């Protein structure tokens, strides 16, 4: 029996905040960041394939990463790897996948998720995805998952709940706020009305197509114009034309902040977006001095609260160092205070320009 459930995994980022391991040639979603033997993309696929057939899972990625995706996920049909010719943020990515799915199944329900998230309680997560897909489809809403904040994090977006109906697990969304400064984040957490934006969305293909047509008509019209080419030999040329003609815009800004049928399920299944080295430190196993170390020849002495990653076989002797991130990729090294790691992307960009890399 054909399933109406589909999954779209967004795997097009370059993960610059995970430099030096994450590079434009092989971004973090294709790396075994968690040292499990599976890349973040593979773990995301492993999670969703438990409830969604492999043939209904689509990966949207950059054209330069199609081969890597195919190598890491050989069970996914090649036509399910959607190649973006250029990066245009999440709205065009989601529109591309939605139009592809609609052509196959006009009754589809879709979960959209990034490729690089950590989920601790996978059983709870998958139950909520299944329930959420049913709710979103039956209620004709755009649903997102909100994570109960446990600290005033400034690296996440926040979603404000309009009102908490104790009789329902789903609540209308009042507002979206991009990454706030610390004082505002503290206010959000204290108020109890705000949840972290997980970037995970659930809806029917009809609902998202309708929303795109209403709030991003230029983008929607481009896909409507070229929809006959999807799934044919002309698809690549059509997508090149669409992406060349469209702006870079997020689905949050383009649709979710404007639509009046946006709902949230507030939850906590052990989530991290793994956006930075410090977020990886927070979810990693630590020694008695709260150090995280990956490498078989690391000697730490009188050092606390560090994240250290050194290639196996390379000796690293570290003394009297606290609250640092030390990552050696073999030919590049990152050393910075954990409190200042938000500057990694900018510092790497500056260094690349300075040394013409």
Containing domain of residue 50, as a range? 5-272
177 and 286 in a single domain? The answer is: no
Give residue-wise pLDDT tens across range 112-125: 999 999 999 999 99
Question: Quick one: which H or E segment has residue 87?
Answer: none
Burial class (CB within 10 angstroms; exposed 0-12, middle 13-18, buried 19+) of 105: middle
Structure tokens at 186: 């503290």
Per-residue model confidence (pLDDT) at position 63: 98
* 217 and 303, same domain (yes or no): no
What's the predicted TM-score (pTM) here? 0.95
**Distance set, CA 140 to CA 8, 262, 284 (Å):** 19, 10, 39
Kindly state whether residues 146 and 237 are assigned to the same domain: yes
* CATH number (domain holding residue 238): 3.90.550.10
Domain identity same for 232 and 203:
yes
Interatomic CA distance for residues 9 and 72, integer angstroms: 14
Domain count for the chain: 2
Query: Both 350 and 247 in a single domain?
Result: no
Tell me the average pLDDT of the chain: 95
Same domain, 145 and 283: no
What torsion do the CA atoms of 84, 207, 146, 55 make, to the nearest 10 degrees?
A: -50
Looking at the fold, whether 61 and 78 belong to one and the same domain comes out as yes
Residue 112: CB atoms within 10 Å: 24
Q: Are residues 95 and 191 in the same domain?
A: yes
Dihedral in degrees, nearest 10, Cα atoms 320, 324, 325, 326 = -20
Residues 45 and 120 in one domain: yes
* 347 vs 144, more confident: 144
Residues 230 and 334 in one domain: no
Tokens of 8: 């779209």
- Residue 221: the pLDDT is 98
Task: Tell me the average pLDDT across 38-62.
Answer: 98
314, pLDDT greater than 80: yes
pLDDT at 153: 87
- Name the maximum alpha-carbon separation found in the chain: 65
- Binned at pLDDT 50, 70 and 90, residue 341 comes out as confident
Contacts 24+ apart (CB under 8 A), 52-55: 52/3, 52/5, 52/6, 52/7, 52/111, 53/3, 53/5, 55/80
Write down which residue in 272, 296, 316 finishes a domain. Answer: 272
Please check the confidence at residue 342 and state whether its pLDDT lies above 90. Answer: no
Predicted pLDDT at 102: 98
pLDDT given for residue 168 in this prediction: 81
pLDDT digits (tens, 9 = 90+) for 254-311: 999 999 999 999 999 999 999 889 999 999 999 999 999 999 999 999 999 999 999 9
Domain boundary among 228, 254, 272: 272
Q: What span, in angstroms and rounded, lies between the C-alpha atoms of 68 and 229?
A: 25
> Do 321 and 191 share a structural domain?
no
123-169 pLDDT tens trace? 999 999 999 999 999 999 999 999 999 999 888 899 999 876 676 89
Question: 242 by DSSP, 3-state: which?
Answer: helix
Domain endpoint, select from 218, 243, 272:
272
């Amino acid at each position: 029996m054909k399933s109406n459930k589909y999954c779209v995994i967004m795997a097009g980022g370059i993960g610059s905040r995970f430099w030096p391991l994450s590079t434009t040639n092989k971004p973090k979603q294709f790396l075994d960041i968690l040292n499990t033997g599976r890349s973040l993309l593979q773990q995301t696929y492993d999670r969703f394939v438990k409830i969604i057939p492999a043939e209904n899972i689509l990966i949207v990625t950059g054209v330069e990463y199609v081969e890597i995706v195919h190598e890491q996920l050989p069970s996914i049909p090649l036509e399910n790897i959607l190649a973006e010719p250029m990066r245009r943020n999440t709205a065009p990515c989601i529109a591309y996948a939605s139009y592809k799915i609609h052509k196959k199944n006009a009754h589809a329900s879709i979960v959209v998720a990034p490729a690089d998230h950590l989920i601790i309680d996978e059983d709870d997560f998958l139950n909520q995805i299944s329930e959420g897909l049913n709710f979103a489809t039956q209620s004709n809403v755009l649903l997102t998952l909100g994570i109960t904040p446990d600290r005033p994090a400034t690296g996440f977006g926040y979603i404000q709940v309009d009102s908490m109906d104790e009789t329902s697990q789903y609540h209308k969304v009042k507002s979206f706020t991009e990454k706030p400064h610390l004082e505002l984040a503290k206010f959000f957490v204290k108020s109890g009305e705000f949840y972290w934006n997980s970037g995970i969305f659930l809806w029917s293909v009809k609902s998202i197509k309708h929303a795109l047509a209403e709030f991003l008509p230029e983008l929607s019209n481009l896909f409507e114009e070229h929809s006959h080419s999807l799934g044919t030999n002309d698809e690549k040329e059509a997508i090149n034309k669409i992406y060349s003609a469209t702006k870079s815009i997020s689905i949050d800004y383009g649709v979710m902040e404007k639509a009046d049928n946006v709902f949230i399920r507030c939850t906590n299944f052990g989530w991290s977006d793994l956006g930075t080295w410090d977020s990886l430190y927070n979810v990693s196993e630590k020694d008695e001095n709260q150090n995280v170390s990956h490498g078989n020849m690391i000697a730490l002495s009188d050092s606390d609260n560090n994240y250290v990653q050194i290639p196996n076989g390379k000796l690293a002797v570290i003394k009297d160092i606290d609250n640092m991130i030390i990552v050696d990729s073999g030919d590049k090294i990152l050393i910075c205070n954990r409190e200042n790691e938000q500057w990694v992307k900018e510092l790497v960009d500056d260094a690349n320009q300075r040394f013409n890399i």
